[in-house]
Structure 1
Amino acid sequence: MPMSTAEVAVIGGTGFYTFLDDAEEHPVETPYGAPSAPVSVGTVAGRRVAFLPRHGPHHEHPPHAIPYRANLWALRSLGVRQVIAPCAVGGLSREVAPGDVVVPDQLVDRTWRRASTYVESGAVHLPFADPYCPRVSRALVAAAPDVKAGGAMVVIEGPRFSTRAESQQHTAAGGTLINMTGAPEAALARELRMCYAALALVTDMDAGVEQGSGVGQEEVFSLFRANLDRLKDLLTTAVAGLPDPDGCTCSTWADGIDVTYDIPG
């Protein structure tokens, strides 16, 4: 049945369960099961925007059990071509501090039990040297003067936090941020020919950096809640400044390739 379309999507992270005013809710069926929640569609800065809470409306889905494939497929089926992904992250480097907002430019995937691709047959090898869309990333960085650009986000399986030794290993390998949900989300968006960028809020310093008892859940949730209005303002400004996605390499990578899975929309 026909559905309202959206140009842009926001996938809300920990503590970020609503975004749009006067939104229409759209349940979407996908070949990969149900998404985390019905997709809400409304208008932001004159653009049709879809919103999906990554963990569900009441944080039902832990990071290792989020239906990532269903989420991205549902958004693409509504016509979405650009995705902004706010998320809570820990700091691995003294280059960042709690309260910083960072637009990373690299990703290290340390997850191991998630369905991480739509490819189930054939030869379809995703180019992923630069995992985030440079065009969407620039719009996010330009949304406020205190947004930091660059850094590598290490994505761990979760749901537990890192040991100090693990955290120090990630830092020694060049990690700037640590998170539990950035993979396979970014790669799935690219497989569906969508532009994707993360907007990371540093909620804590990870266990290998800080000297105290280590990061705790309430610390993360509390700082994210305190910054929700700030993030929503940043997103509204960024949505208004998004460029035309036509011709972006996030989409054109598949030109001339026999993609063996369904790309809706």
Structure 2
Amino acid sequence: MKQITFEDIYTLGKIAAENTHYRHIHYPEMLIRYDSNFIEFKTLPSLTEFKEVEKYLRDYHLKRGQKHVKFYFPANIKPTEELIAYLTDMGYEIGFLELYAIQPKHFPSVRNNPDIDIQVVTDKNLEVLLDLQYQNDLEFGSEFAKQKANLIKRQFEDQDIQQVLAFYKGSPAGYVDVIISNETVEIDNLTVDESFRNKGIGSRLQKFVMDSFPEKGVILVADGEDTPREMYKKQNYKYQGIKYEAQKIYQD
């Protein structure tokens, strides 16, 4: 498998502006999706440079009714203490993402459980996926959940995205999106409904991906502060890199 970097990760959005210092990603179809409306720095900015770009993005978003700003810093480079101090003082949430990869043959064996049924999403079960994701997305607000449903429908038509459902004893229990490229497939949006956790559903969804694409490298991004990353390590995923992020939501 080739060297995996964050450049291999799928980005939902269009380039609104780009220069030698940063890339501005914008997704007008879903303005409240923070992960699709952000600035990604190519080089680590000084505090002065950051403030200039911060003002640019804030003004850009204000004109479009967006109440957030989000920034990604260059991979494998930690922001300076000066930057972190400023971000903290200004009320930003600061976090980091970790990149993992695995060859399907290295994924652990998974016990077959007849109670778990994995299905690729088709016209026949698309509504099941829409309903399950809607219920899970309500924690982010009804407007977000509605817009996410439209996004799911758009992605259903995308030949490079495979949507997969998991059922437990006949009840919808989880899902994952598989983003297909030439050399890799990316596991995204892996979710198991809270009432069906600790039954091996997440592992079965992943195993389905491994079995479906045995010749491709499988990649994913984990929130560096969430527990799933520990699960990925136990499943033989290999750490590929880190990326710091900062996000602020304005109340006015």
TM-score (ref. length: structure 2): 0.29
Higher helix fraction (1 or 2):
2
In terms of fraction of residues, the more strand-rich structure is 2
Structure 1 length normalisation: TM-score? 0.28
Larger Rg: 2
